[in-house]
Structure 1
Amino acid sequence: MAAPVKFVCLDQFPPDMHPLQAVVRKLQLTEIFSNSTGTSCALLLSCQETQTSTKSAVLVCAHITAEEFPDCTVHSNTSTLAVYVSKAFLSHYNFQEETPGIARILQPLPLDKIVIGARTKQSFRWASSEEFSSFLLVLASCPGQTVLVRRGDTLILPHHPLLGDNATLVRQYLSDLVVLDCTPLTHGMITVNTTVVVSDCRDLLHGHGALDSADSSVTLRPSSVSLFVSDFAHYANNLGPASSFLSNRLLFSSGFTEVLQALECRLDVQVTCDNAKLCKLANFGRKIGKNAEVDMDSSIFVSKTLLLKLGLFNGEWVMAALGKVKRCSGPEGAQSPPDNECGAKAMTKTKGDSHLAKIVAFIKSSDMDVSDNAGFISPVLWFNLSNGEGTPVGSKSLKIKRWNKAPLQPGHKLSASICCSAAPPYAKELHIDAVMSPDYDSHGPFDNILFKHFSTPRLVQQGSILGIPTQGHLDFLENSSDEITRWPVLYFKVKQVSGFSEDEAEVGSYLADTDHTSLYMRGSTNSLAPCSISEAGSSFWMSLLPPGLSDIVEKLVSIIQPHVTERCVNLRRACSVLLMGADGCGKVTAIKAVCRRLHLHLLKVNCVTLCGDTAAACESKMKAAFHRAELHHPCVLLLRNLQLLGQRRDSTETDSRVASALCQLIADAHSSVILVGCVRAQRDLSSDVMPAFVHQVVMESPTEEQRKAMLASLSQDLPLGKDVNLAKIAKQTAGFILGDFCALLTGAGKAAHQRLLKSYYPHGASAQEEEDLCVFGVTIMGVDFTTALEALQEARSQAIGAPKIPSVKWQDVGGLQQVKKEILDTIQLPLEHPELLSLGLRRSGLLLYGPPGTGKTLLAKAVATECSLTFLSVKGPELINMYVGQSEENIREVFCKARTASPCIIFFDELDSLAPNRGRSGDSGGVMDRVVSQLLAELDGLHSSSDVFVIGATNRPDLLDQSLLRPGRFDKLVYVGINEDKESQLQVLKAILRKFKVDPSVSLSEIVERCPLQLTGADLYALCSDAMMSAVKRRILHITEGLESEDATLTLCANDFNRALDILQPSVSEEELHKYKLIEQKLTAK
C-alpha cells in the first residue's frame, strides 16, 4: 500500500538522529499504515506519481515518534504523510521541501556482508575500535530498530552514548565512513549475522564526499567559497571611494566597460546527449541560483572550480563563439531542388558567429563523472552555436566574452557587477516554423506545449532551433513499430524575432515568455535538427560514438557527411549505402549514432511492410516511402531487411520489376535523402539491386577490446558485484555481437533475481515481495554471468556452430609429456612473447597423427583451455556439400569464424577425408580437388592473423595431399602414439579416474601391471567405463537385497576392475602399431 507524502524541513533536527534519517509521527503513521510497528521503519520515498524501483525512489530509515512538532498543525491532513527531514536530507537526496511524493513501508532484507571505507586515519581507528563494534551489535540486536545501509552512500547511524560523548566528533567520523559494498543486495539491513569489514581507503576515496553539499551541522569541513562574486569583482570594488564602485552608473558609459568587453577566454566544452546528466546539472544550477529556472538549451554548465578560474559570475550572460565556420548553404540549402546548384562557392557565416549563453555553475558530487576543466552544453546549444556543424565527440574550444550591452531599463536594480545586471531584452513578437520530422506531425496541436515551454523565459535568436520535449503530453505519445513507447522532441525554427525598440535590434538575442511576447506559428520548414535527448536508458544507446561500434560509425560519418555539408555539382546524386551484418550486430544503433552526429532525421522502414501481393503493389508502397522521406529531408531513409523486397514466395529470386523500380527510385531520390539498406550478407541481396548502392559497408564481429567496451557501457547502470571481471567475460564471449551481449546481461539479471528469490524466499514469493526485492537492488555476481553465459553459448553453438572455449585441463590428459611440450612451443610462445616473432617466423599449423584413441582431440581441447583460446572443432565430412561451390564456401566460413573469435584454434578432425591427394579422389566434378585448393589458400592467409592456429588430426597421414605438409602450412608434425611404458599408462589411468570415487584399497599400479602394453587412452577409458558399469550392477543388486541405501556413494572396488580387465581387448593390434611406426619414421626423415 502506498500513500501520498510531503517533506517538511525542520530547522532544528533531533540531535540524537542522523541528518540523513527521517522522522514521522506515530499517530499519523498508524492511521495510514496499520502494519507499522516498532520504533523505526523502512520507507520507500519517491517524487514520482507512481511507486517504482527506479533511481528516483530512495529507501530511508524513518524514526517513529510520538512527539508533536511546532508546525505539525499545518500538516494535519491524515491522508498525506508528513515526513520531517533536515536540510542535509533534502540536499543529499535531491528533494524539495513541500514536494508531493509517494511513500510505502517495506520489510527490509538482511545483508550477508558490508564493506565500510574510512576516508581519514582517525575515522578508520574509530570504526575499528571495540566501542564501534559493540554499538553495531547492540543496535542490530534491538527489536524494532532498523539499520539500513546503501552501497556508495554514507554510513547512516543514529547517535548514541556508546559511540562517544562528543557528538560533533562522532558526526565527523560518521561522515567520513562510506559503504563500499553490500552483498547480496545494494540496499539492506544490518543484522547480528552480517559480516562488517572496515577498510582504510583514503587514496581510493580522495575527494569523495557524500555530504559535502550538506549544511554545517552534518560536517565540519570548511564552507565553500561564494559562487556569486568573482575575485575580479572584489578587486574592482577597491578601485573607488564608494562602497560599491561597480554600481556607479557613470562607469557604464566609461571606457572601463570596453576593457571588460574586450576580455575573452577559451573554454573547452563537451556536448552531452545524456538527458539524465543534463537534468542533474540543471537541478544543481537551480539550487545555487536560489530555485531560478534553468534553460538547458541556452546554458553552459561549469563546475564551481572552473567558474572561479574563469572569474565569471554564476548566472552571467556571456557571448560564446566557435569562430568563423565555412559551410555551404547548409540546412537551408537542403530545401533546394537538385537543379538549384550552389557550385563550389562556400558561404561564410557572419551574422550569428557568436551566440548568447548563460553560465550556470554546479557543485560536483561523488556520483558525477565530470571534469573540472570542461563545460557542458546541450546538443541544441551546440547546433545553434555552430550553425549545424556535426556534433563533436570530444571537447571543443569556445571563445567566451563578457556581455553587458543590454540597455538599462528605468528603475533597474543594479548588482555588485554590471555583468550580473546585464540581461537580454524581452521579445515583442516571435515567429516560428515547425521543423518537419518523421517523429511527429508538423501540423499537430502545439498550443498547450508551446505555452508551457514559454512560461519560463527562453533565449531566442533569428535562425536558431528550439527543442521542446513532449514528456507527459499524451498528444505526442508515439508507439513505434518496435513496440517501444517514445516521447519525441518537437523542433521549431525561429524565422523572425523583434523587440520593443529599435535600440534592442543590435543585441540580436531576446528572451521570450508568455508575459511579454506574442508568438506566431507560420507553418513548417525543412531543416537539420539536433539530436533528441528525451529518451532515457543506458548512455550506450544515446552515445554519439557507441563503444564497440565506433569504427563503423566513423566510417559511415565519413561517407554521409559530404552529402550533408556540401551542395556541389559532383554530389548531385543521393548518397546510398548498403550496410551488411548479422542480425543484432548493431546496424540500426550505428545509423542512429550517425544521425545524432550529423543532425539528420531518421525514417525507418521495414521492407516487410513494403511487400505486396503483386509487383505493382510493392512498387506503389516503395514510392510512398521514398516520397515521405523526401518530405522530411534532410533525413536518412533506413530500409531494413532489404533482401525481402520483391522476393517471390515460391523462390528466393527477386522480382525483376521490383528490383528495377527500386534502382530507379534510388537514382531519382532527393539529394538530401541518405539511403541506407540493411541486409545480413551480400549474397542475400539480388545482383540486380546491388549496383544501386554506391557504398558497401560490412560490420564484422567485434574484437576482444570492442567486446569489453560494449560490456562496460551496457552494464554501467547495472549493480555489478565486485567479483565480476568484464575483461574475462569479453575473452569468453568470442564471436558475440551486440544482441548477444544484451541477451547475456538480461540472462545474468534473471539468474541473479532467481538466486536471491531462492535465498530470501525459499518457499516462494508473492508479486509484491518480488517487487520489493528489486527495490533493494539485485546485485549481479560473477556466478550469474557464468550461468547466463553457459546457457547462451549452448544455444548459439546448437544454432550456428559458434566457437567456444572448452573446459579440458592438462590434468585430464595423462602422459604424452613430449607431445604437450611440442604443442605449447608452437602455440603458447607466439601468444606470450610476440616480440620474439617480430621477424615473421611463426608456425600456425600443427598436425597430430597416430593410431585412433590416443588423445589427439583431447590434446587440442586442453591446449585451447590452458591458453584461453577459443576452440572451433570441425569434422572433415561436415564441410563436404553436394552443391557446386558450397564446400569451398563452408571452408571460408570456418576460417572467417576463427578470425572473428581470435585468438582461436581451428581443429580439423579426420583431415584425411577433407584433404586427400589431388587427382586421385575419383569424383567427376573435381570437388575434393577444389576443397583442397581452398584449404591451402586459407592456410596461406593465416600469416596475416597472428592469433589463429590450425590443428589437424588424422589416422592416415599417408593419404593427405603432400602440399599440406610443406613449411608454412601443417609444418609441425607430431606423432601421438600409445603409452608403451607402465608409468605413462598409470598417469593416463589417474587422469581418467580423477572424477571417479575409487575405494582406497584399490591399487592402480597393480591394475596397470595386468594391462597389455599396446593400450591407447581410449582403451583405458573403456576399462574404467566397464568397471563403472560393473559397480552400477553391483549397486543395483545390493539395493534390491536391502544391503545398501540409494543415497550411498557409488565406489569402484578392485573386483570391478578385475571384471573389466577380463574382457579388455586392445583396439590397436601389433601389426597396425608397426605400420604407424613406419609412417612416423618416414615423415620424420623428411
Structure 2
Amino acid sequence: MMNYSRTIFTISKLIYPKYNPIWFVIYMYVKYHSIFKRQIKYKLETLPDKALLNILQKVAMSSSDVHNCALVHPENVYLSDKILNLHHKEIKHAKSARIVTSLSCKRDTLYVSNTFVHNLSVPSDCGDIKLLKPSKYIEVAQEIDLSLISCPHDLSNAVTDSVVKSYFKYPKLIQVGDIVSVNIKYFCPALFYTDLKLNGVEQIHFKCNKVIYQNIQVQGQFFCVIGTTAIKQSANLQSYIPNVSKLATKSVESGEEMLSGIDMCPYGLQRYLGELTLAVAPFIKSKNLKLKPLFLLQGEEGCGEDLLLKAVAAQMGMHHFVIHNSEIVANVYAQNESKTNSLFFQAKMAAPCLVSIHKFEHIGQNAEGQYDPRLTNSFSHHLEALFQNNPYPVIIFCCTSSKYIPAELKRLFLEAFEVNSPTDVEREENLRWIVEMNDLTANGEVYGKVANKTHGFYFKDLEALVYHAACKGEGVLEEEHFEEALEFMQKNYNESLGAPKVPKVRWADVGGLTDVKEEIIKTINLPLKHPEFFEKSGLSRSGILLFGPPGTGKTLIAKAVATECSLCFLTVKGPELLNMYVGQSEQNVREVFQRARQASPCIIFFDELDSLAPNRGLSGDSGGVMDRVVSQLLAEMDGLETSGKVFVIGATNRPDLIDPALLRPGRFDKLLYVGPCADPDSKVSVLKALTRKFNLSPDLDLKELVLTCPKNVTGADFYGICSCAWSTAAKRLIGDIQRDGLNADDYSCKDIQVRTEDFLQAIRSVKPSISEEDLKYFDNLKRELSSISVGNKG
C-alpha cells in the first residue's frame, strides 16, 4: 500500500510540480466519485400525475413540467444537477429530464409519469437506465406545432387555446412526437369549475408535430417558453394515449402522501380484468381481423363494471367513451336513429376508443317497453358502419344487468362475460382495496371476518359499507365499526342490497326440541365442515321440512340454525311470491334461488309452504299459476346440487296439502315433526330460554310453574305467559312509583322483578292454542310422514 501511495505522489510531482501532491489525490477521489455516481443503473417506476404534481408544487411552481421530470434520491446526484439525460441501450437518442430529489425515493429507482414512459418508448419495467450529463445546452425553440388528440369530449377551440396557454405558462421541455398530457383541474382550475362540459374530463392530450429552431425543423429536445416560442395548433389527429395502471389515493390528492399509488382495478376484480384484456388485445395488435370487437358484459348493478372497463381502456392506452341508454333511446324512431348515428360517429372520431353502453337491455325497446325490430335493425346497421375503414380500433362493451336480451341482439356479440357475485376471497380483496384507496387502516383479520358477513354484497355495496364504517371510526377501522355499519345498511337498504342477512338467534333462545336441533345440524353442518366427502360422493342433502302445530318454534329453529352455522338467512312467505301477471310468479321463485346462490352459503326458509306448493291439479285457479309455481320450485330444488351451498328449510302446519313430488328424497328429503313439549324438563327449558333476561324473584321455581300449565301448551303459549307475567310486574312497579311519589327516571327494566303470583295469574288467563282434537290430528300425521319422531322428547 505504501508503494502505491509513493507512486501516486511521485507522478503528481512530475505532472504538477508547483502544487502539493495531496491536491492531486483529492481531485482523483472526487473525479472517481463523480464517475461512480454516473454509473448507477436505475429501473423506472411510474407514479400517478397527482403524486408528482404534489412534489413539484413543494419544490418550485416553475418546475411543474410533470411529464419531463424524474424523481431520484438526493445522494445519487449533485446539487448542480438540474437536467440530466436518461440513457438506455434501446434508446437511439437521449431523453432529457428535469431532476427532482426526494428522500422518499429508492436508491435504484427513477420515478416518472406514465406520459414520460410513453414518450421514452421503452417498457416501464425496464432496467439499466443511467443518468448522464447532457452533451450540449438545451436551446429555446422558435416555434412548435401541436395537434389535439381526438377524444370523446366536445372541446371548443377556445378551451384548447386556454389549456395550452395555461400549460406552457412556465418553460417546458418538448420534442417532436411527444405526447403532452394536461390535467385540466390542476393547470386550468377556473375553466374546470366554470365549464360544465369539462367537469368529467380529467386530462386532454396533445401531440407535438414540429419543433422549429432558427427557421429549421429539428428533432432534439428544446424548451418551449411563452413570449419566445410561437405555439401553433394544427388539425386534430387520432393516436394512442399513455397507458395508466395506477390511481392516486385520497391522501395523494390532498397532498399529504408523496410516493404512493394504487392499482386502477380493485384486487377482487383482477380476474375479470385479465379476461377482458385478453379479449381486447388481438384487436389492438392487428388491424386485419375481420371480426367485430363487440362484447357483452353482464353483471348486477354495482358489480364494478365501470371500474373494470375504465381500467381496460387505461391499460390499453385508449379513450373511454361512456354512453348511457337514455342518450340513444327516444320516443320517435327518427330521433333514435339520429342519436345513434351521432354517438357512433363521435366514437369513430375518438378512436382508438373503448365504448361502454350501459343499460343495454333497453336499447331495442320503444316507448311502450316492447322490443321494436326497427330499432334493433337500426342498431345493427350503425354497428356495421362503425367498424368499417377504421385506422384505429373501436371496442364496444354493452353492459347489462338483465339476461333477457332479444336473440337478434345477442347474436351480434363476439363473446359474453359475466361478473358474478364475489366470493369470500374476492370480497376480502375488494375491501382491502377500498380501505387502501381511502387511506384508512384496518387489522388484517378484520377483512376476512367482514367478508364472511357480507354475502351477496357487490363492489358498490362494500364501498358504502366502508364509508359508513369510516364515519364511526377515525382512520382506524375495527370489527365493531364494520358491524355497526353492516347493521345500519341492512336496516335501511335491505331491499336495494338484495343480500340476505344473518339473524341473531342462538340455541339459547330455543328451548327444548333437542332432537330436532341435532338432526338439522347433522344435515347442514356436516356438508359445510367436510365438503370434500360430499363433493366426491355426488350426493347431497338439501331440504328439510318442519311440520307441526302452529306456535311450536319452527321459524325460530330455522333462524337459530342460520346463526349458529354462520349462514345467510333468506325468509320467504308463500303468498308474497304470487303475482297476477303471467310468468311473474315463476320469475319470483327463480330470483329467490338466484339471491341465495349469490349469498352462498345460505338457508332459504319457506314459511307456510302449503300455500306456495299445493297439490298440482287441485289448486282450482283457471290459469294454472300454482301448478307452474310448483313446477318451477321443483326445477330450482333439483338444480341446487350444482349451485353451491344452498339449503332449503320449509315450515308448514298442513303437510298433507303439499304436492307429493316435493316430499321425495333429493328435495325435502327429511321431514321433522315439531310438536308441543310434553315432558316437564322440555317445558322448563323453554321457560328458561324465554326468561333468561328477566329479573326473577329468588323464591320462583320454574318446575312448579310448569306443573300448573295445561298439558298441550306450546312454545308460543309460553311466550304469551311470560309476556303477560312481565307486564303485570311492570304495572306493579309503576304503581309503587306513582303511589310513593318517586322519580321514574331512577328506575330501569332491571328493577322489574317477576314473582310467582305474576306467572300464576298469566297461566290462569292463557288458553292453549292447540285443542285436543288438533293434537290427535298432528300425532297421526307424525306417524304417517315423519322420518324421525322428535316432537315429544324436547
Tell me which interval the TM-score lies in, with the shorter structure as reference length: 0.7 to 0.9
- Structure 2 vs 1, CA of residues 908 and 373 (structure 1 numbering), >3 Å: closer, same or farther? farther
What secondary structure, in the 3-state scheme, does the structure 2 residue paired with 1:400 have? coil
Give the match for residue 653 of structure 1. 370
Q: 1056-1065 vs 463-472, which deviates more?
A: 463-472
Q: 1:275·1:536 contact (CA, 8 Å) conserved in 2?
A: no
Is 2:704 the counterpart of 1:1006? yes
Could you list the per-position Cα deviations for residues 670-707 of structure 1 after superposition, in whole angstroms to 9, with x for gaps in the alignment?
A: 45333333333133x56654444444333333233222
- Contact 2:552 2:715 (C-alpha < 8 Å) held by counterparts: yes
In structure 1, the residue matched to 2:7 is none
Deviations 1:755-782 (A, max 9, x none): xxxxxxxxxxxxxxxxxxxxxx676665
The TM-score, its normalising length taken from structure 2, stands at 0.81
State how 1:448-459 maps to structure 2 within 5 Å.
449-450=163-164, 453-454=167-168, 458-459=172-173
Give the counterpart letter for 1:895 in structure 2: F
- Cα 1:320–1:854 shift into 2, 3 Å: farther
Instruction: Give the structure 1 partner of residue 501 of structure 2.
Output: 804
Paired position in structure 2 for 1:942: 640
Q: Is the 8 A contact 2:53 2:64 kept in 1?
A: no
2:67 corresponds to 1:297: yes
RMSD of aligned residue pairs (Cα, Å)? 4.3
Letter of the 1:465 partner, please give it.
I
Alignment partners' CA distance in 2, 1:547 and 1:513: 41
Name the structure 2 match of 1:420: 133
Per-residue deviation, 1:785: 3.9
Contact 1:843/1:971 (8 A) holds in 2 = yes
Question: Could you tell me how far 1:525 is from its partner in structure 2?
Answer: 0.9
Instruction: Provide the rounded CA distance (Å) in 1 between the counterparts of 2:543 and 2:137.
Output: 74
User: What's the counterpart of residue 705 of structure 1?
Assistant: 425
Counterpart residue type for residue 356 of structure 1:
K
The corresponding residue for 1:123 is: none
Partner residue, 2:357: 639
Q: Report the counterpart of residue 17 of structure 2 in structure 1.
A: none
**Structure-2 change in CA distance of 1:902 and 1:520 (3 Å):** same
1:601 deviates by 1.5
What is the rounded CA distance, in whole Å, between the counterparts of 1:907 and 1:856 in structure 2? 10
Deviation for aligned residue 1:316: 4.7
Q: 1:950 to 1:609 in 2, by over 3 A?
A: same
Match of 2:202 among 488, 505, 515: 488
Q: Which residue of 2 aligns with 1:69?
A: none
| 2:236 alignment partner, SS class | strand
Deviation at 1:493, TM superposition (A): 1.2
- SS, match of residue 477 in structure 1: helix
Deviations 1:231-258 (A, max 9, x none): xxxxxxx9x977656999xx9xxxxx9x
Deviations 1:512-555 (A, max 9, x none): 33288654433321112126789874899984322333333333
Which residue identity lines up with residue 489 of structure 1 in the other structure?
Q
- Closer/same/farther in 2, CA of residues 801 and 905 from structure 1, 3 Å limit: same
User: Where does residue 678 of structure 2 map in the other structure?
Assistant: 980
2:613 paired with 1:878 = no
Partner residue, 1:595: 313
Letter in 2 for 1:477: F
Give 2:304's aligned amino acid. Answer: G
* Residue 462 of structure 2: aligned partner: 741
Is residue 548–residue 706 contact of structure 1 (8 Å, CA) maintained in 2?
Answer: yes
Residue 433 of structure 1 aligns with which residue? 147
Residues 499 and 510, structure 1, Cα contact 8 Å, conserved in 2: no
AA in 1 matched with 2:95: L
In structure 2, what is the equivalent of residue 675 of structure 1? 396
CA contact under 8 A between 1:298 and 1:381: conserved in structure 2? yes
- Given the superposition, is the C-alpha separation of residues 359 and 820 from structure 1 closer, same or farther in structure 2, using an over 3 Å criterion? farther
Q: Distance in 2 between matches of 1:724 and 1:1004?
A: 44
Residues 822/314 of structure 1: CA separation in 2 closer, same or farther (3 Å cut): farther
Q: Is the CA contact 1:477–1:485 (under 8 Å) kept in the aligned structure 2?
A: yes
Q: Is the 8 A contact 1:425 1:499 kept in 2?
A: no
Aligned to 1:43: none
Q: Given residue 420 of structure 1, which amino acid in structure 2 is its aligned partner?
A: K
* Residue 382 (structure 1) aligned with residue 139 (structure 2): no
3-state SS in 1 of match to 2:86: strand
Higher relative contact order (CA 8 A, sep 6+): 2
Aligned residue in 2 for 1:662: 379
Q: Is the CA contact 1:544–1:597 (under 8 Å) kept in the aligned structure 2? A: no
Other-structure match for 1:473 = 188
Structure 1 partner of 2:605: 907
Aligned residues: 741
| SS of equivalent residue, structure 2 residue 754 | coil
Distance change >3 Å, CA 364–CA 244, structure 1 → 2: closer
Partner of 1:844: 542
Separation of aligned partners in 2, 1:971 and 1:439: 61
Q: Which residue of 2 aligns with 1:114?
A: none
Specify the alignment match of 2:242 in structure 1. 530
Per-residue CA distance 1:831-859 (angstroms, 9 max, x = gap) = 33444545245433333333322212111
Shift of 1:944: 2.8
Q: Counterparts of 1:136-215 in structure 2 under 5 Å?
A: none
More displaced stretch, 994-1003 vs 743-752 = 743-752
Distance in 2 (alpha carbons) for counterparts of 1:544 and 1:708: 17
CA distance in 1, matches of 2:535, 2:326: 52
Residue 1021 of structure 1 and its aligned partner are, at CA, apart by 1.0
| Structure 1: tracts of 5 or more residues without a match | 1-237, 252-256, 324-351, 390-395, 404-418, 753-776
Larger relative helix fraction: 2
* Residue number in structure 1 paired with 2:95: 356
Counterpart of 2:221 in structure 1 is: 510
Amino acid in structure 1 at the alignment position of 2:394: V
Given the superposition, is the C-alpha separation of residues 1021 and 357 from structure 1 closer, same or farther in structure 2, using an over 3 Å criterion?
farther
Change (3 A) 1:492 1:919: same
- Residue aligned with 2:422, SS: coil
Give the Cα–Cα distance (whole angstroms) in 1 for the partners of residues 631 and 44 of structure 2. Answer: 57
Contact 1:301-1:362 within 8 A present in 2 as well:
yes
Aligned residue among 115, 126, 147 for 1:398: 126
> Percent of aligned pairs with the same residue?
34
The equivalent residue for 1:132 is none
> Structure 1 residues 538, 578: closer, same or farther in 2, change over 3 A?
farther
Describe the shift of the 1:460–1:800 C-alpha distance in structure 2 as closer, same or farther (beyond 3 A).
closer
Contact 1:844 1:950 in 2 (8 A): yes
Deviation of 1:985 (Å): 0.9
How much does 1:567 deviate? 0.5
Residues 819 and 362 (structure 1 numbering): CA distance in 2 closer, same or farther, change over 3 Å?
farther
1:277 aligns with 2:51: yes
Quote the offset at 1:580 in angstroms: 3.4
Which whole-Å CA distance do the structure 2 matches of 1:1046 and 1:559 have between them? Answer: 71
Match of 1:857 in 2: 555
> 2:522 maps to what in 1?
825
Cα distance change, pair 361–473 in 1 and its aligned pair in 2 (3 A): closer
Say if 1:652 and 1:936 are closer, same or farther in 2 by CA, change over 3 A. same
Shift of 1:467: 1.3
Question: Residues 929 and 374 of structure 1: is their aligned pair in 2 closer, same or farther, counting only changes over 3 Å?
Answer: farther
Distance in 2 of aligned mates of 1:932 and 1:543: 48
CA distance in 1, matches of 2:236, 2:29: 47
Match of 2:297 among 551, 575, 579: 579
Is contact 2:364–2:375 with CA below 8 Å preserved after alignment? Answer: yes
Point out the more displaced range, 610-619 or 440-449: 440-449
Q: Which amino acid aligns with 1:514?
A: V
CA distance in 1, matches of 2:252, 2:453: 24
1:430-466 superposed Cα distances (whole Å, 9 cap, x missing partner): 4332212234626345556545645666454433312
Residue among 1050, 1053, 1060 paired with 2:755: 1053
Q: CA deviation at 1:1028?
A: 3.2
Deviates more, 1:610-619 or 1:355-364: 355-364
**Is residue 487–residue 535 contact of structure 1 (8 Å, CA) maintained in 2?**
no
Aligned to 2:233: 521
With over 3 angstroms needed to count, the CA separation of the structure-2 counterparts of 1:280 and 1:827, relative to structure 1, is: farther
Contact 1:426–1:517 (CA under 8 A) maintained in structure 2: no
The alpha-carbon distance between structure 1 residues 373 and 790, as it changes in their structure 2 partners (threshold 3 A), is farther
Q: CA deviation at 1:605?
A: 3.3
Counterpart secondary structure, 1:941: helix
Structure-to-structure mapping, 1:51-130, within 5 angstroms? none
